[in-house]
């Protein structure tokens, strides 16, 4: 699927070629899970998988939306009728972006949109952010809004939180909007300051496999909200704005102060150690020792499984099998309860690892996983 194809389909649907074609990628989070709503650190990189949108302006207050990936015709929405949580179909994501831009005072007067994506949905690879960011970037260009990338990400997060009604952090949208080819993005979610960290796997003789377990997560569901509320309670009990403010060196003392709040202790321990893991991975990559991040990734998985308790048998099986077969490190990635895991391995061992995981899934009677290599790729951009 390429930009030209998406433009051609747009012309068929709407009777004229689009004014432009844009792309925004899905992402994998290398390390820093469930830290973003705690004002902490994350380290995603963009995938080559992307959502491509062909878009033209309209000036009559109408938004027309079509997705090649969804059955059904063109949806037509009136801008003055857009209202938070009024739409439980896919159109809420792009409509939410238009709503958020208008709420922020930008004079969007309508658009025609046709899009197609290679980002698997509901796999923890952030197809929702890819969809939001591609629309936001297209409208920024077409309406000459001059919005900076980080600002665009904020508006997309607002669309997802308020309009769609899914309580997600800022990582996914920032990754899709700001990542660079051959780099991972070290992002401080408190002030959105960022640093591009060289992460050229191929040059190092390494590969990172993404294993999509095909177990669907329910992101806006109760478990995510419970973890988030638990983290907020932990911060309140410790008298800090966010768990980000609990220093790693002061963790034991903080946990002691939480006393017999066992569940809160586990959540706090995960967030504080996870922030520390992100900093360790940054140091290791910047000092040119990418293989050494493997054990840190694996530690991260144990923390998500045992302390945060958001893994599932399929994700654990990927990690256990990959490590038993000699991978450098492995962990679940994304919101949890399904979705994808990542495996860091020597390039020469890709086939061995893949086969071991496929066999283990077959033996356990699980649905066959989808396995692909993740190459750190470019963030959102205009294609045509
Ligand atoms: P994830 O972001 O992990 O893929 P989410 O549940 O956050 O999972 O977002 C997936 C939802 O985003 C889909 O159910 C759909 O509503 C919407 N979506 C994503 N990509 C597309 C697309 N190409 N076409 C239409 N809707 C899409
Ligand atoms: Mg999502």
Q: Which of 172, 181, 191, 306 is catalytic?
A: 172
To test ligand 1's pocket by mutation, which of 6, 96, 121 has the most ligand atoms within 8 angstroms of CB? 121
Query: What is the distance in A from the centroid of ligand 1 to the CA of 156?
Result: 14
Question: Both 41 and 161 in a single domain?
Answer: yes
Any binding-site annotation on 338? no
Question: Both 124 and 36 in a single domain?
Answer: yes
Q: Which residues 6+ apart lie within 8 Å of 273 measured at CB? A: 248, 251, 299, 303
Query: What is the distance in A from the centroid of ligand 2 to the CA of 126?
Result: 4
Q: Which ligand is nearest to the CA of 1?
A: 1
Q: Token pair for residue 95?
A: 């409509």
Query: What is the distance in A from the centroid of ligand 1 to the CA of 127?
Result: 5
Q: Which ligand is nearest to the CA of 72?
A: 1
Q: Nearest-CA neighbor of 19 among 118, 144, 195, 189? A: 144
Distance CA 188, CA 281 (A): 14
Asked if residue 319 lies in contact with residue 312, where contact means CB atoms within 8 angstroms, the answer is no
- The CB of 157 under 6 Å from ligand 1? The reply is no
Tell me which residue range forms the domain holding 234: 199-373
Question: Both 60 and 94 in a single domain?
Answer: yes
Question: Both 67 and 21 in a single domain?
Answer: yes
Any binding-site annotation on 123? yes
Express each pLDDT in 343-365 by its tens digit.
Answer: 999 999 999 999 999 999 999 99
Question: Both 157 and 251 in a single domain?
Answer: no
**Strands 110-117 and 62-67: what pairing?**
parallel
Protein residue with least CA distance to atom 20, ligand 1:
127
Express each pLDDT in 274-291 by its tens digit.
Answer: 999 999 999 999 999 999
Residue 172 appears among annotated catalytic residues: yes
pLDDT lower than 70: segments of the chain: 217-221
**What CATH code is carried by the domain that includes residue 212?**
3.30.70.890
Question: Both 191 and 213 in a single domain?
Answer: no
pLDDT, position 37: 93
Q: Token pair for residue 38?
A: 């705690």
Q: Token pair for residue 85?
A: 């949580």
Q: Which residues surround ligand 2, an ion (CB under 5 A)?
A: 126, 128
Q: Which ligand is nearest to the CA of 130?
A: 1
Question: Both 94 and 232 in a single domain?
Answer: no
Phi, psi for residue 363 in degrees, rounded to 5: -65, -35
Residue 313 CA: distances (Å) to CA of 52, 221, 316, 354, 360: 34, 19, 5, 18, 12
pTM: 0.94
To test ligand 1's pocket by mutation, which of 23, 67, 73, 127 has the most ligand atoms within 8 angstroms of CB? 127
Query: What is the distance in A from the centroid of ligand 1 to the CA of 161?
Result: 14
Question: Both 265 and 298 in a single domain?
Answer: yes
Counting DSSP H helices and E strands in the chain, the numbers are: 11, 13
| DSSP-derived secondary structure for 242-294 | SGGGS-GGGHHHHHHHHTT-HHHHHHHHHHHHHHHHHHHHHHHHHTT-GGGHH
Residue 222 three-state SS: helix
H helical segments located in the chain: 3-14, 92-103, 127-142, 149-158, 171-178, 222-238, 251-258, 262-286, 293-303, 313-324, 350-364
Any binding-site annotation on 224? yes
**Strands 194-198 and 183-188: what pairing?**
antiparallel
Question: Both 179 and 220 in a single domain?
Answer: no
Query: What is the distance in A from the centroid of ligand 1 to the CA of 210?
Result: 18
Residue 376 three-state SS: coil
Any binding-site annotation on 33? yes
Distance CA 123, CA 280 (A): 27
Question: Both 225 and 143 in a single domain?
Answer: no
Asked if residue 24 lies in contact with residue 51, where contact means CB atoms within 8 angstroms, the answer is yes
Q: Which residues 6+ apart lie within 8 Å of 3 measured at CB? A: 21, 23, 52, 54, 383, 384
Residue 56 CA: distances (Å) to CA of 10, 14, 163, 210: 9, 10, 23, 35
pLDDT, position 334: 87
Distance CA 215, CA 201 (A): 27
- The atom of ligand 1 lying closest to the CA of 51 is 23
Phi, psi for residue 266 in degrees, rounded to 5: -65, -45
**What CATH code is carried by the domain that includes residue 28?**
3.30.230.10
Question: Both 206 and 244 in a single domain?
Answer: yes
pLDDT, position 124: 82
Q: Token pair for residue 366?
A: 């699980």
Question: Both 179 and 215 in a single domain?
Answer: no
Number of domains in the chain: 2
Asked if residue 128 lies in contact with residue 374, where contact means CB atoms within 8 angstroms, the answer is no
- The CB of 122 under 6 Å from ligand 1? The reply is yes
Q: Token pair for residue 162?
A: 């308020």
- The CB of 127 under 6 Å from ligand 1? The reply is yes
- The CB of 165 under 6 Å from ligand 1? The reply is no
- The CB of 173 under 6 Å from ligand 1? The reply is no
**How far does the chain reach from its first CA to its final CA, in angstroms?**
14
């Amino acid at each position: 699927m390429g930009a030209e194809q998406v433009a051609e389909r747009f012309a068929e649907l709407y009777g004229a070629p689009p004014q432009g074609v844009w792309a925004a990628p899905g992402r994998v989070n290398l390390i820093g899970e469930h830290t973003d709503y705690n004002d902490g650190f994350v380290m995603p990189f963009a995938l080559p998988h992307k959502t491509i949108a062909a878009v033209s302006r309209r000036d009559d207050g109408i938004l027309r939306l079509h997705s090649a990936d969804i059955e059904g015709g063109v949806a037509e929405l009136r801008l003055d009728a857009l209202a938070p949580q009024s739409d439980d179909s896919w159109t809420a994501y792009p409509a939410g972006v238009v709503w958020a831009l208008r709420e922020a005072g930008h004079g969007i007067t309508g658009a025609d949109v046709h899009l197609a994506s290679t980002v698997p949905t509901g796999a923890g690879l952030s197809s929702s952010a890819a969809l939001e960011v591609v629309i936001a970037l297209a409208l920024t260009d077409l309406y000459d809004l001059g919005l900076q990338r980080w600002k665009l990400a904020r508006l997309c997060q607002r669309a997802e939180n308020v309009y769609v009604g899914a309580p997600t952090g800022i990582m996914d949208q920032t990754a899709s909007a700001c990542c660079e080819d051959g780099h991972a993005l070290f992002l401080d979610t408190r002030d959105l300051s960022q640093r591009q960290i060289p992460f050229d796997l191929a040059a190092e003789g390494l590969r990172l496999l993404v294993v999509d377990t095909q177990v669907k997560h329910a992101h806006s569901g109760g478990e995510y909200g419970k973890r988030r509320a638990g983290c907020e309670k932990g911060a309140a009990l410790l008298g800090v704005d966010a768990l980000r403010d609990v220093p790693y060196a002061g963790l034991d003392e903080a946990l002691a102060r939480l006393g017999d709040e066992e569940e809160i202790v586990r959540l706090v321990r995960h967030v504080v150690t996870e922030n520390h893991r992100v900093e360790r991975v940054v140091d290791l990559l910047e000092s040119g020792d990418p293989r050494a991040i493997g054990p840190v990734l694996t530690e991260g998985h144990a923390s998500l499984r045992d302390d945060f308790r958001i893994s599932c048998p399929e994700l654990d099986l990927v990690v256990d099998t990959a490590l038993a077969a000699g991978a450098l490190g492995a962990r679940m990635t994304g919101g949890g309860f399904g979705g994808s895991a990542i495996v860091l391995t020597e390039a020469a061992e890709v086939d061995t690892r893949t086969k071991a995981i496929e066999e283990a899934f077959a033996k356990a009677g699980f649905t066959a996983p989808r396995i692909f290599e993740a190459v750190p790729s470019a963030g959102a951009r205009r294609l045509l």
